[in-house]
A and B are shown apart, each in its own frame.
Chain A
Amino acid sequence: MCLGIPARIVRIDDAERMLATAEVGGVRRQVNIICIVDDAHPVESCVGDWVLLHVGFAMNRIDEAEAAATLRVLSELGEMQAELDAMGGEGEIRR
């Protein structure tokens, strides 16, 4: 029961009730942002944030640096493999 997708907050609709509009690929829907608002992230500051959307609630902010780090690990692995391949058969010693 966990369908959650990345969405971007594009507008605050009702600051008191913590309602905002989120967008996914141009499709918009009003969402509740109570879970992503705290002292460090007041309501108005949420506009532009990427969030994980689940059943109409923004459940967490998406951390751009962490996303990049995750992908970087894989890019580096790919580069290492390419280097091993370039060294010829030696890369196959492991297997």
Chain B
Amino acid sequence: MKYVDEFRDRDKAATLRREIAALVQEIRPARPIQVMEVCGGHTHAIFRYGIQDMLPEEVEFVHGPGCPVCVLPMGRIDDCIAIARRPEVILATFGDAMRVPGSHGSLLQAKADGADIRMVYSPSDALALARTHPDRSVVFFGLGFETTMPSTALTVLEAERDAIGNFSVFCNHITIVPTIRAILDSPDLRIDGFLGPGHVSMVIGTEPYDFVARQYRKPLVVSGFEPLDVLQSLWMVLRQIADGRAEVENQYARVVTTGGNAAAQRAIAAVYELREFFEWRGLGSIDLSGVRFRDAYADFDAERRYAVPALRVADPLSCQCGEVLTGLLRPHECRMFGTSCTPATPVGALMVSSEGACAAQYRYAVRAA
């Protein structure tokens, strides 16, 4: 497939491995170089293609917070289930969210228990459900970073234009930039550079990351999602470290431009406003890291349409997701990894979705022979 197969090329990967090994020799790090891939899509690619094992021991990926399913707090899942249980409601959701545990089970369990929950591929499909079920109330479980925000917003704008009154969104969209800043501000920070989220950047452009280089003096390379993209971006980060530079670079120029996508940004600006704070599983509350609907779209806001418990449910005490997210622990160093916390019975955020660092490590990582 075009733009896919050529970015999975094994020979070019071998070239990059040699360059990376040479750079590490040049840098001569006193401790392993830690590069955080912010986006869960990168985490998935790293494990899916076995990239970590292709690298010298002196280079480690730290798997960042960019899996919006993983970081959704239990209280929000509980609220979503409360909405889904209403007899008039059809809840439409991406498949990813089905297994995320709330404090009393997941959407998958709520469905088995009788709630009308449908998996959709697109918010457009949720709106189509509303059109074909005028007697029911269709609620779309809107989640994701800036990548997914425009599609939800454009769907709401379409619902407004077509006056579809039985459609609303339970909005859990979050924004990545304040979270990167929160990680950079953490006192024990050891991260030496970042792979920037390619598809978020396709929407917002590369400028919003400038502070990472300017203010915090860390290299950031916006990266595509094929394995060659990830390896090349890592090489670019290491090149910067070797040169003593800290810049925002764009490896994914075939998709990402400096300014991002104007139409998508207009849709975001029209529909959403920032929340004062939003709660992240594993990271706690982060200021200005979530969005909600503007008052003009209150009719499409499921949170205003339905009373939800809105309880804050604390992360389990023994959970060490926060330390893994900031690179202080590797997934298997968590005290619950693989014992009380597994993909079948996830306790922490990172074991929840296949993009979560712990789930990916558990599922894919080649353990000692």
Contacts and interface: CB of A to CB of B under 8 A. Distances in A.
A37 interface: yes
A68 to B, nearest CB: 9
B14 to A, nearest CB: 8
A66 B147 contact: no
Interface in B2-39: 2-4, 6-7, 11-12, 15-16, 18-19, 21-22, 25-26, 39
B154 A57 contact: yes
Contacts of A60: 202, 255-257, 261
Contacts of A8: 2
Given A6-B3, A78-B11, A32 B154 contact: yes
B253 A66 contact: yes
Contacts of A62: 3, 254-255
B276 to A, nearest CB: 22
Secondary structure class of chain A's binding surface, majority of residues: mixed
Contact of A24 (B1, B25, B68, B150): B1
Contacts of A32: 124, 151, 154
A19 to B, nearest CB: 9
Contacts of B255: 4, 52, 60, 62-63
Given A63-B254, A77-B16, A1 B147 contact: yes
Contacts of A59: 147, 150, 199, 202-203, 261, 264
A35 B264 contact: yes
Interface in A3-53: 3-6, 8, 17, 24-25, 29, 32, 34-38, 50, 52
B19 A2 contact: no
Interface in B205-249: 225, 228, 232
A14 B123 CA distance: 18
Contacts of B262: 38
Q: How large is the interface on A (under 10, 10 to 19, 20 to 34, 35 or more residues)?
A: 35 or more
Contact of A74 (B15, B123, B197): B15
Interface in B260-278: 261-264, 267
Nearest to B21: A95
Given A1-B148, A52-B199, A52-B202, A95 B22 contact: yes
Contacts of B200: 2
B254 A66 contact: yes
B225 to A, nearest CB: 7
A74 B16 contact: yes
A2 B68 CA distance: 9
A86 interface: no
Contacts of B116: none
Contacts of A57: 122, 124, 150-151, 154
A66 to B, nearest CB: 4
B198 A2 contact: yes
Most chain A beta-carbon neighbours within 10 Å: one of B15, B125, B232, B262: B15
Contacts of A69: 253
Interface of A: 1-6, 8, 17, 24-25, 29, 32, 34-38, 50, 52, 54-57, 59-60, 62-64, 66-67, 69-71, 73-75, 77-78, 81, 94-95
Interface of B: 1-4, 6-7, 11-12, 15-16, 18-19, 21-22, 25-26, 39-41, 66-69, 94, 96, 121-125, 143-145, 147-148, 150-151, 154, 158, 197-200, 202-203, 225, 228, 232, 251, 253-257, 261-264, 267
The 4 A-B pairs at the shortest CB distance, nearest first, are namely: A56-B122, A1-B144, A6-B3, A67-B254
